[in-house]
Structure 1
Amino acid sequence: MLQADDIEKLRDLFDESVAEYPIADQTQANEALASYLIQTQPSDRLFDILVTVENTGSSKRLIIDLANHFFLSQVIEGSGRYIAEVLSNLAAYIPGQALSNGHKIESRPVRQGEHEPQYIPAYILPLDCKEVWKEALMIARASTILGRFPYSNARIQAVAAAATRMQQRGYLFTIDCGTFQMQPTEIEKIVADIRKSLRPLGCFNTMTNIMHLARKTYEYKYDQILFGQRYAPGLGERPPTTPIGLLFNIAVKLPIRGRGHGLKQNKAAWTNAIALGRDFVAMLDLEAYTHFAFLNIDASQLEAKLREVAHYDHCFALRQWHFSFTPEFLETFFSLDFDSDMKQQLGWGISDALRLINVLNEQVTPDPTIIQIKKLSTAGIDQKLIRSMLPYLAYTECEANRNYRSPFDTTGENVIFKPAIISNDRNLLIFPSASLIGPAFFEAIFSALKSISTPQVISRLRGDGTERLTRHVFKKHRFLPVLENAKYNLGPNDNGECDLVFEDDENIVLVECKAKALTRGAMTGAQGDALLDFAGGLFASQAQALRHERILRTCGEINFLDKRRLEFRNRRITRLAVTLVDHGTLQNNWILNSVYQALLSAQVSCPPDYAKRKQVSDFNANLRMFREETQQLLAKGHNIRAHALNVASTSVAQLDIILNGARDLDDVRGRLTPRMTYSTFNILLEFSSIYKMRDHTQS
């Protein structure tokens, strides 16, 4: 991670290089490089003096980060672009890998019979090596004047352009270690200004506009909007994307009906809000812009990268599932065991919620819907029953997200916990897009049940309900497990439990179920929370399943305590983690693929008074198990890349869509672990895009 000390050192080195090696024009630039062209090339000289295979803690990434910092500093300081150009040229010469003997990797065809060379990470000498760095900067300055490698970073250029527009609007910010920084009060002012712009439209019209814009921007399929990362072709530039999630979280704070002065004024208000929200979130630098953003993530970047993608989901996406799945989700997860207790203590139960959902199924659409409460009674739901449910299912007008003042608030967002907003006169209910209602109904019912149950009952429900729902989805699509909750104990380090196992002649699918939800801290960028949610959800499941796989591959079978046996028989193994609700980008297969190598060397530390210290300890224990299991598999000659490619993670709602129409386990494996990606980091968008491509090639 870029440090302030690195920036100051580089700035001083640059000034010293300019003073010691003056280069004013192309003639002097050619003269400066001429001496290197007699026996070698500038790139060879830079490799010889700057690159090492010893771990100095600095790599090509430092040069790129410095270049980005100085490019952004142009917005505030009016200088820095030239240094950014020079560093861009320098980075173009520096490799990310070297041969294991420390030599430069040659660019040539592989000779017949030649063993594949071993590549290892390449590092650079620290900035304290002044003479080396002054010469390196001289070579890069000469290359810059000759126009060899102009600065090109679509992401940073978009961030800088957005910051320039925000500066022109009068908002205040600074730059620190390559990122723009705003005071919390300034961020709250921006969110308040967006809300002020949207107020003439009101909550209903604003949400309608947001949903129209979302469906125009992203694919709408499986009765939901398939949000995901978007890219310009190649390394091309593109404007920032509109932050749908942020705008939605602001819209629900508004009065249901606006007080606009006409269509023209309302359109201008909407345009202003969109532009301000887009530029503000662009400055947070959460979008990827190119397909290469998630390559080569090391352990030092792990926490920051996971925090970034979770915060991206909060600002740009919405939590959804297909509304038609809601009744079976709720009935299967909760069952009707709690129905009588809820009716006795709350006045309504699970069965009543299911009746209401069936009525709504005929009325809600992809756009927000306003429903008169009295019309629900004509549909067969008693008015008294409705009134008893509303405190748990609906926020009063302007109460949803009342404390949401910033996309960094960890407690401000609460709209996800209730599916509706009720008007102040208590006569109208507003429901957002149908795809948002299901998850909110689940949260509302779960919260109501928690209010009358013990923590032990709720904890048991989370685990049992998630496994029950996962089993239901597989059974619905004609797949029955051969093992459920099967425990084994083959020694001190060879014990565990398989939640669900599916098999056929060619495949073994190991399924681990996790009820852990994504915390609001992770959604809003709280340091450490995204990492721990990733650790407790996807990674914990994968570490457990990896032990199952290692025993199968090394011992040939697992003998369970109930005398049953699972044999390997050289079959393909797929490890699937199923979460109760969607974890967004954090649970995408290719995120795990991108950070797989980093996890093999990562260890997490925290202050003694950290509130989530136990979660950190559990994560480190799983990291140790992950490394040990991987090392044993490597010792048996198993390819490490196969582990990253044979893993999958979905929510139960996503799994319901992916399994639909699957012929057999081989088809299931292909759907869960495709060998290609569009880098959208949305599980369903990837699934849709890949099958659309396959249908096109077969037609």
Structure 2
Amino acid sequence: MQDLDDQVQKLRAIYLDSATTVPMKDEAAANKALEAYQSLQHAPDRLFDLLIVLENTDQTVGTVRSLANHFFLANVLDNVSEPIAEALNNIAACLPGIAQPDGTRIPSGPVQPGASPSPQVTAFVKALDNESAWLEAMLIGRAFTVLKRFPFSNARTKAVADAATRIKRFGYAFSIRSGRYQISPEVIENIVGQIWKCLQRVGSLNALSNIMRVALETQDYAYEQILFGRKYAGGLGYRPPGLPIGLLYNIAVKLPALGSNERNARSFWDKAVCLARDLVAMLDLESYSQFAFLGLNAETLEDGLREVAHYDHCFSLRQWHLSFTPQFLTIFFGESFDGDMKQRLGWNVADAIELAQVLKAHAAPGTQVVPISRLVETGFDLGIFKSMLPFFAHKEGEANKHYRSPFGAAGPDVIFKPLILLKGNSVVLPAASVLGPALFEATFAAWRTNKTDQEIARLRGDAAERLTKYIFTKHDFQPSFESAIYDLGEQGAGECDLVFEDEENIILVECKAKALTRGAMTGMQGDALLDFAGGLFASQAQALRHERILRSVGAIHFRDGTSLELRDRHITRLTVTLLDHGALQDRWMLRNVYNALLSAQFTCDPGYTKKKQVEEFNTHLRLFQKETRLLEATGQHINAHPLNAGSASVAQLDVLLDSVQSLTEVRTRLSARMTFSTFNVLLEHFHQQKMRSQGQPSYVGNSRS
């Protein structure tokens, strides 16, 4: 397969050769160039004959579209590439993705009732080495451009190019390679530094207040949290890039509390917002279409997962409903550590739970400043509170002190403490929704200071199962099986963490304690893939074996003599993670990458620090691929496998199970056969509940324009 940059150089030469040989300045010249094709049905048919082949050239109409996008982006830098982009866009508009097995075009038109679908194969595009074919194709593409047949209409590429144009005007340097803008780490840090300087004029308190106000104005709010999610332009329409709330938040917490009293603070805020929006737009993380991830294959899987995790860092915040925090801390830690922590730290888990309850009384969806005297006036011991402050509060200007870039894995540490301590004995309470996870992180960090890695892993793993069981029990569902081990010889061995069942349903629950790493959040190569592997994917691969045995044998016989029988019931495979994994958690992301996973295996350099995790991922991949083949052999269609899946963090599960009356309703909420393509578990639930309350029919679509 030719490198995209090599293809770019060849196409540029072909275009220049065509433009020199046959100049085309107006419609008369374009029509004259197309006269030779009047004897054919249409000039588009000639493009099919010129470029479509059945031989695998590793180039399809998608390749042509990617090249058109590259030239459209390159035009920002050279001001001469847009005509090439337009010509390629016109060529791509006439090429199919599939053809008949004999290499002819599939006839267009409605399918006749009762008619068998026509056989089809992938339509490949001739290599650029066939210059005569491409020269003639370029001539037709140029003529169509002049005649305005198929104007360039990629909303994503246009938005990225517009952002790059504005960044260029500010004097920041960048280049283009393989269809993406390349910005050096130094330039990115300079832009982030400029955003920081602008926000410094506003001050941390005003900046955080503005950020949360905009977030609440532009996003849905429910379940005590802001429901960040992907948004799309209507149809192929244009929309401007989104506002990177996460990036602005991570910069704002670094600032001194008060601004420099500039009269033009508003203009500095506006400049910071524009710079942040354009920088992230150039990183090309946003999805402007619901179908953005449908084309992911084994080669593009890592890039795609990295982009969705990095998007979450730049555009959203890590949250859960604050009212859940006391329950989370109680079930996670229990009471066995209280004595040791009290002696060692001066406070314990019970005090952290009381702090969570105190903060809930003062917190709000937006940013609050609360005097410490108000926090302790309800009876919270002032001495205990002061002993907790070093663990639960960043000093003013210390949060995210090393955050210089959205790619800095070591930078975002604001997520590990809930408060910011101001001079004058006051604290900043960020949005209530971000306090919960941070309260847990602070308590956990204090507990683990004298613990071994084995003790830490054991607590997290056991707690994930305890919390999952607690939430189901809280909503009146008791497990039929817990940590049930089986070894069925050739059929396979495994362990079911939790199983819930009734006359119509079997819900296979696998609990995972793995957290989303800061490397995945900030776009580090490989980290998002491994977090996806160790969270959603590993558990789904394990549960797939449980399902396959049930469908092929009819029952799983456990070592303790009990049995789980299929009895023709619905099977749902549920992954529950300790903490939210963002879009990597969403079951429709699993659906989009399902086929890619069936053919993937991954390698790494010998010195890669996470080589063991790569090996574990490949082990799970082989299990997943084997179980998928065996399930297909039982008559299960491959497309059914991801639709039987569900996924949620324990905090999300607590919301999803609210007011459910049966396991059938649980199944419906966990594995709805529809999506709004928001890639947010709770936002999907929000829209589905809203739709049902309004009595609307089910459909697949996006959440809002």
Q: Which range, TM-score by smaller chain?
A: over 0.9
Residue 668 of structure 2 corresponds to 670
User: Is 1:110 aligned to residue 74 of structure 2?
Assistant: no
Work out whether 1:589 is the aligned partner of 2:590. no
The alignment covers a number of residue pairs equal to: 696
Q: What are the residue-to-residue correspondences of 1:595-634 with 2, within 5 Å? A: 595-634=593-632
Residue number in structure 1 paired with 2:357: 358
- Are the aligned partners of 1:200 and 1:258 in contact in 2 as well (CA < 8 Å)? yes
Provide Cα deviations, 1:258-293, integer angstroms capped at 9, x if missing partner. Answer: 23234xx22222112111111111111111122222
**1:513 & 1:610 partners in 2: Cα distance?**
28
> For residue 326 of structure 2, what is the aligned residue in structure 1?
327
- Tell me what 1:340 maps to: 339
Change (3 A) 1:55 1:575: farther
8 Å CA contact 1:345–1:452 kept in 2: the answer is: no
How many angstroms apart in 2 are the aligned matches of 1:227 and 1:554? 41
CA, structure 1 residues 632+36, in 2 after alignment: closer, same or farther (shift >3 Å)? Answer: farther
In structure 2, C-alpha distance between the alignment counterparts of 1:148 and 1:292, rounded to whole Å: 24
Question: Please, what TM-score do these two structures have when normalized by structure 1?
Answer: 0.96
Aligned equivalent of 2:177: 176
Aligned-partner Cα distance in 2 for 1:55–1:483: 50
Closer/same/farther in 2, CA of residues 421 and 293 from structure 1, 3 Å limit: same
Question: What SS class does the counterpart of residue 332 from structure 1 fall into?
Answer: helix
Is the aligned partner of 1:124 residue 2:115?
A: no
Give the match's secondary structure for 1:320.
coil
Shift of 1:23: 4.5
Q: Which runs of structure 2 are paired with 1:513-532 in the superposition (5 Å)?
A: 513-532=511-530
Structure 1 position 114, deviation (Å) = 3.1
Instruction: Write the distance in 2 (CA, Å) between the matches of 1:615 and 1:406.
Output: 26
Equivalent position amino acid for 1:479 in 2: F
Describe the SS at the equivalent of 1:552. Answer: helix
Distance of 2:359 and 2:44 partners within structure 1: 66
State the match for 2:701 in structure 1. Answer: none
What are the equivalent positions in structure 2 for 1:286-301 lying under 5 Å apart? 286-301=285-300
Q: Partner of 1:496 in structure 2? A: 494
Secondary structure of 1:361's aligned partner: helix
User: What does 1:660-699 align with in structure 2 at a 5 Å threshold?
Assistant: 660-697=658-695
User: Could you tell me how far apart the structure 2 residues matched to 1:356 and 1:575 are?
Assistant: 36
Q: 2:61 corresponds to which residue?
A: 60
- Over 3 Å counting, the alpha-carbon distance change for 1:52 and 1:532 in structure 2 is farther
Q: CA deviation at 1:417?
A: 0.6
> How far off its partner does 1:26 sit?
3.2
Match of 2:481 among 480, 483, 497: 483
- Could you list the per-position Cα deviations for residues 61-108 of structure 1 after superposition, in whole angstroms to 9, with x for gaps in the alignment? 211111111111111111110000011111112222334554433223
Per the alignment, residue 205 of structure 1 pairs with: 206
**2 CA distance for matches of 1:259 and 1:35?**
70
Deviations 1:395-434 (A, max 9, x none): 1111100000010101011000111111245x12111001
Percent identity over the alignment? 53
1:2 and 1:62 in contact (8 A); partners too: no
What residue number does 1:552 align with? 550
Tell me, what secondary structure is at the counterpart of 2:575?
A: strand
SS of the aligned residue for 2:39 comes to helix
Instruction: Report if aligned partners of 1:2, 1:65 keep a CA contact under 8 Å in 2.
Output: no
Displacement of 1:504: 1.5
Aligned to 1:159: 160
Q: Report the equivalent of 1:4.
A: 5
For the residues of structure 1 that align with 2:285 and 2:687, how far apart are their CA atoms? Answer: 23
Aligned residue type for 1:478: D
Q: Tell me how far apart the structure 2 counterparts of residues 557 and 122 of structure 1 sit (CA, whole Å).
A: 45
- Please tell me the residue identity of whatever aligns with 2:484: A
1:393, 1:419 within 8 Å by CA — same for their partners in 2?
Answer: yes
- Look up the equivalent residue of 1:525 and give its one-letter code: G
User: Aligned equivalents of 2:544 and 2:81: distance in 1?
Assistant: 48
Instruction: State how far apart, in whole Å, the 2-side matches of 1:120 and 1:667 are.
Output: 41
Q: Which residue of structure 1 lines up, in the alignment, with residue 702 of structure 2?
A: none
Q: Relative to structure 2, which stretch is displaced further, 460-469 or 37-46?
A: 37-46
Which whole-Å deviations, capped at 9, do the CAs of 1:307-361 have from their partners, x for residues lacking one? Answer: 1111111111000000000000111111111111111211111011111111112
Question: 8 Å contact 2:43–2:140 — kept in the other structure?
Answer: yes
**CA distance in 2 between partners of 1:589 and 1:35 (Å):** 52
Deviations 1:163-219 (CA, angstroms, capped at 9, x unpaired): 111111222222222212222121111111111111122212211111111000101
What is the RMSD of the two structures over their aligned residues, measured on CA atoms? 1.8
Deviation for aligned residue 1:393: 0.8
Q: Aligned equivalents of 1:42 and 1:448: distance in 2? A: 71
**Contact 1:487–1:497 (8 Å) recurs in 2:** yes
Kindly provide the amino acid, as one letter, of the partner of residue 153 in structure 1.
Answer: N
**Residues 636/103 of structure 1: CA separation in 2 closer, same or farther (3 Å cut):** farther
Deviation of the 1:226 alpha carbon: 0.5
Comparing 588-597 with 432-441, greater Cα deviation is found at 588-597
**Shift of residue 51, structure 1, vs aligned partner:** 2.4
1:12-411 aligned at under 5 Å gives the runs: 12-19=13-20, 23-100=24-101, 102-262=103-263, 265-411=264-410
Contact 1:2 1:178 in 2 (8 A): no
Shift of 1:297: 1.8
Q: Aligned equivalents of 1:99 and 1:600: distance in 2?
A: 26
Deviates most, 153-162 or 285-294: 285-294
Secondary structure of the residue aligned to 1:250 is: helix
Structure 2 distance, partners of 1:382, 1:51, is 77
- How far residue 632 of structure 1 moved from its aligned partner, in angstroms, is 1.6
Matched-pair contact (CA < 8 Å) for 1:394–1:419: yes
Return 13-22 or 510-519, whichever deviates more.
Answer: 13-22
Q: CA deviation at 1:362?
A: 1.1
Cα 1:632–1:21 change in 2 (3 A) is: farther
User: Hey, what's the Cα distance between the residues in 1 that align with 2:549 and 2:37?
Assistant: 56
Residues in 1 aligned to 2:587 and 2:106: alpha-carbon distance in whole angstroms: 31
Report the Cα distance in structure 1 between the residues aligned to 2:63 and 2:445, rounded to whole angstroms: 47
Find the partner of 1:431 among 421, 429, 432.
Answer: 429
Mapped to 1, the partners of 2:530 and 2:517 lie a distance apart of 10
Could you tell me which amino acid in structure 1 is paired with residue 387 of structure 2? S
Deviation at 1:34, TM superposition (A): 4.2
Q: Is the 8 A contact 2:174 2:183 kept in 1?
A: yes
Aligned partner of 2:471 in structure 1 is: 473
Q: Distance in 1 between matches of 2:29 and 2:633?
A: 56
Match of 2:503 in 1: 505
CA contact (8 A) 2:225 2:433 kept: yes
The residue identity in structure 2 corresponding to 1:448 is A
Moved more, 433-442 or 14-23: 14-23
Equivalent pair of 1:2/1:66 in contact (CA under 8 Å): no
Taking a change above 3 Å as real, the CA distance of residues 620 and 37 of structure 1, as seen in their structure-2 partners, is farther
CA contact (8 A) 1:303 1:530 kept: yes
Moved over 6 A (4+): none
Please tell me whether the aligned partners of residues 491 and 549 of structure 2 are also in contact (alpha carbons under 8 angstroms).
no
Give the match for residue 645 of structure 2: 647
Aligned residue type for 1:641: N
Give the distance between the partners of 2:93 and 2:12, measured in 1 at CA: 19
Deviations 1:458-482 (A, max 9, x none): 1101110001001111111111111
Could you tell me how far 1:294 is from its partner in structure 2? Answer: 2.0
Aligned mates of 2:576, 2:498 — CA distance in 1: 11
- Paired with 1:489 and 1:117, the residues of 2 have a C-alpha distance of 46
Aligned to 2:703: none
Structure 1 residue 493, shift from structure 2 partner: 5.8
Question: What one-letter code is carried by the residue in structure 1 that aligns with 2:539?
Answer: S
Shift of 1:19: 4.3
Measured after TM superposition, the shift of residue 35 of structure 1 is 4.1
